[in-house]
Amino acid sequence: MRVYQFRHPSKNVLRHLKLLTAPPEVVYISRLDMKKKKTYPGFFLVFEGGEGCGKSTQLRKLAQALARQSLPALLTREPGGTPLGKGIRKLLLHAKHEVSPEAELFLYEADRAHHVESVVRPALARGQVVISDRHADSTAVYQGMARGMRFADTLNRIATSGLQPDLVIILDVPPEVGLARVRGRGTPDRLEREKMAFHKKVRKGFLALAKKNSRRYKVFDGTRDPEDIGQEIQRLVKTRLERKGLWPRH
């Protein structure tokens, strides 16, 4: 199945390549890289990792540390970072019925497209620090690598219009450890109930991403003491914000 990418479509192409009349194998991408080269004064940071890795804990610790420096951050998440997204999150994680892999993928991308355009991009344009609990890499790993949905990366690019995080922090824990944490805090959601083989693919996928781009991705051992991890993350983020001129000068 081929994917045709028209980065700079002419008006004639736009007029004739309509999804309703195009062959099924043609995926028309009209906005793929329209905003990719645009830079923003803000800073986009994402926490990623498998289930029970400690993302939420470290996100809160970092936000508190930034607040002590009079640098409040916008905290958000995917899915669920908008009113629309909250409904999508409920469908994805707490549905009582089966959700096909294809429907799952498109629901995540629908949430992401709305989240990026209505929350993330405007905040970055205002010069804010945006910290998100999951973003496009989760879909690349969970749906793309673990579920085998080959077009996850392409759909990510459509949903984000090319926007990429400045920094991605991956909390790495063995699936056995993470899932034990999950079971200890309540009833697992739909993804948390997946088989161990699935979660092992997820871990492998995140580590593969980090290996490809060591500047954007930083991996932390999520089995270590949370306070130690938090201190290291805070030092890293301080350095990155200083480089961008966002760290307060007291």
Which among 63, 188, 181 is positioned nearest to 130, based on CA atoms?
Answer: 63
Query: How many of the other CB atoms lie within 10 Å of CB of 122?
Result: 15
Instruction: Go through the domains of the chain in sequence order and give each one's CATH number.
Output: 1-30 (no CATH), 36-243 (3.40.50.300)
Query: According to the model, what pLDDT value does residue 20 have?
Result: 45
pTM of the predicted model as reported, rounded to 2 decimal places: 0.86
Cα separation, 243 vs 198, in Å, equals 38
pLDDT at 182: 95
Task: Give residue 39's pLDDT.
Answer: 83
Of 136, 155, 157, 147, give the one whose Cα is nearest residue 216.
Answer: 136
Per-residue pLDDT tens digits for 58-69: 999 999 999 999
* pLDDT computed for residue 96 by the predictor: 83
Model pLDDT, residue 19: 43
* Cα–Cα dist 59/78, whole Å: 14
- For residue 3, the model assigns a pLDDT of 52
Say if residues 134 and 87 touch (Cβ distance below 8 Å): no
SS3 217: strand
CB distance 108 to 139 below 8 Å: yes
Q: Kindly give the parts of the chain with pLDDT less than 70.
A: 1-37, 250
